[in-house]
Amino acid sequence: MVSLILVGFGGVGRALVEIMQNDADYLRSNFGFVPVVKAICERQGSLIDDNGLNLSNLLNLGDIASSPYWQAGLTTLEIIQEIKADILVECSWASNDGEPAFTVLKTAMQKKMHIVSSNKPPFYLKYGELKQIAQEKGVMMRIESTVLSAVPALAAETTLAGAHISSIRGILNGTCNYILTRMTQSKLPFKEALKEAQDLGYAEADPTMDINGKDAAGKIVILSDVLLGWNKTIHDMKVQGIEDVTAEDIEQAKREHKYIKHVCQAKDGKLSAGVELVPMDSSLAIMGSLNLVEFETKHAGPFTFIGRGAGGFEAASGVLSDIIHISTQLYDSKKENL
């Protein structure tokens, strides 16, 4: 068994609980994974049961505050001090300054908890500081879903270690890709394509971070810090969005047998995120809401990963993979100490 504290019960947190509940037999038989969720923290209060919350009952609640285990006003930091758990799973809302998630993650590691997070800002702003704390405290820090949800991009740190990643580029925001695709294929105006993306759930009600390029920029920062060993933040790069792309720009690109795409790159010590003209036969010419990341390696050439990089269940899948990785490491460590 592995004990968890879950921070955030929105789209990702609820999807994570649903997967753990519905796939319980599969997870136990294939990975020996039996989770005990001791607490779920929200901004208004927390659910807490040191023996483990009943996940099935939890999913049937319309409002978790109606649970008998709900304690209004009980904060995440108080939970971290009160409850001993193996892993803190942080899936809360993202703010531009990385708070309160940064403080939560830092505090959990100082209490010797391993951490898993899907929250980007703490890591594109202060990855180096969080990594140092993890090393000092001897805990694991897994953040796969901060980049492309379930697409195993950050896992390339180990899976492509022998190939030696030298540069990274990609289409890292599904909202941008969807909007540009609809403008290209159906000649929709920008505002109409954005509205469609929102209606389909690809874009947030406030899509600012998507269309101004900062969401994708944050992801290339995290990729470069984790996979290339850099020490960058989002403040170390120029960021361009797609707000100014016009129908005329799209049509001119097509006449040149090219597409307009929002491309991020980490190469030769420099980061970039902005609009580029991409040949129609390029690997970057993917359509729809798909994301793509391409790793150029010194010894084995390019590797390209493509998948759905957004969505509650997609992000929860990446989070769960990280939890299982840590759980497996903890189990192996316990066996060695027997």
Q: Which positions are catalytic?
A: 219
Nearest to 216 by CA among 287, 120, 317, 94: 120
CA Rg, the chain, in Å? 21
Is residue 153 within 8 A of residue 144, CB to CB? The reply is: yes
Kindly state the helix (H) or strand (E) to which residue 121 belongs, with its residue range: helix 121-137
Q: Which amino acid is at 15?
A: A
Cα separation of 222 and 229, whole Å? 10
Cα separation of 125 and 214, whole Å? 12
Which of 157-191 are b and which e, b meaning 16 or more Cβ less than 10 Å from the residue's Cβ? eeebeebebebbbbbbbbbbbbbbbbbbeeebebe
Is residue 140 within 8 A of residue 117, CB to CB? The reply is: no
